[in-house]
Amino acid sequence: MNHKYASDCHNHSHCSPDGDHSVSAMLARARELGLYAWTLTDHCECQKFESRYRDRVRRAWEEMAGVEAAGLRFCRGIELGQPLEDLAAAREALGGRDYDFVIGSLHNLRDKPDFYYMDAANMDPEELHGLLDAYWDEILNMIAWGGFDSLGHLTYPLRYIQGEHGVPVDMSRHAGKLDQVFQALVQAGKALEVNTSGLRQKLGEAMPNLSLLKRYHELGGRLVTLGSDAHCAEDLGRGIDEGMELLKAAGFTEFAIYEKRRPVMLPLE
């Protein structure tokens, strides 16, 4: 890594259904990279907690408890997907476990499949804008709920609409809603994640991108976290150096890692 404090606070092990590698393999990679801090954040898709995630979350917690992290700052995290779809599940996932860090994510709208499955190339542009409007509204509801530390991969639908399907979206139409999201984060004291997975995927930019990071900063946003969203050991730490440079370009001087659900500010060095 090119930065002294390079830290990856969003990534997945085999405790996630779509993760490839064991916790120990991820740990070995974190050490090899020389990360300043590594936070593992396996998935808990709240609306599927009963059917698929209760045991996974338990197993992830047990495996994290067994990590021998000598010499590396290791933090225990979780990515809560769609917490508002099943608040009892979100409570149970967090209950009795002293996580360091909780990401709040939205992978699908209520009763709709993950944006991953969306056929954006064959959708009416107005329908796409409507989906994005519904996405911002649900994000605002999540911030009002507030049971997380950092908002994961804001603009996630663009990974599929623009990235996978090559359908351009006029984001100027969404500027007002995005301002509301940023203002709500600032007021609630929640962080915004810079998810660097988009840099290595077809989208070609971070989620959110530089212009949105600038806007968040203009509106008073200072809490930011960084994550590669790696689902395999090779992707751990990828894009974190670039993400730190993006933050500097957007006006930030610091970023945060979380320990015991509290931000620890680190310089962008």
- Interface positions with Zn ion (CB under 5 A): 79, 105, 229
Longest dimension (CA), the chain: 53
Least distance (Å) between residue 136 CB and Zn ion = 17
Round to whole Å and give the CA distance between 41 and 213.
Answer: 22
Integer angstrom CA distances of residue 49 from 76, 82, 167: 19, 11, 33
Round to whole Å and give the CA distance between 139 and 153.
Answer: 11
- Residue with smaller CB distance to Zn ion, 63 or 79: 79
- Residue with smaller CB distance to Zn ion, 85 or 229: 229
Least distance (Å) between residue 84 CB and Zn ion = 15
Least distance (Å) between residue 71 CB and Zn ion = 26
- Residue with smaller CB distance to Zn ion, 79 or 205: 79
Least distance (Å) between residue 93 CB and Zn ion = 15
- Residue with smaller CB distance to Zn ion, 138 or 179: 138
- Residue with smaller CB distance to Zn ion, 103 or 268: 103
Tokens coding 108: 């699908």
Question: Facing residues of 225 across strands?
Answer: 193
Evaluate whether 199 touches 206 at the Cβ level (below 8 Å). yes
Residue with the closest Cβ to Zn ion?
105
Evaluate whether 11 touches 21 at the Cβ level (below 8 Å). no
User: Looking at this protein, which amino acid is placed at residue 194?
Assistant: V
Least distance (Å) between residue 46 CB and Zn ion = 12
Least distance (Å) between residue 42 CB and Zn ion = 8
Evaluate whether 70 touches 29 at the Cβ level (below 8 Å). no
- Residue with smaller CB distance to Zn ion, 19 or 68: 19
Handedness of CA 162, 240, 73, 63 (dihedral sign): positive
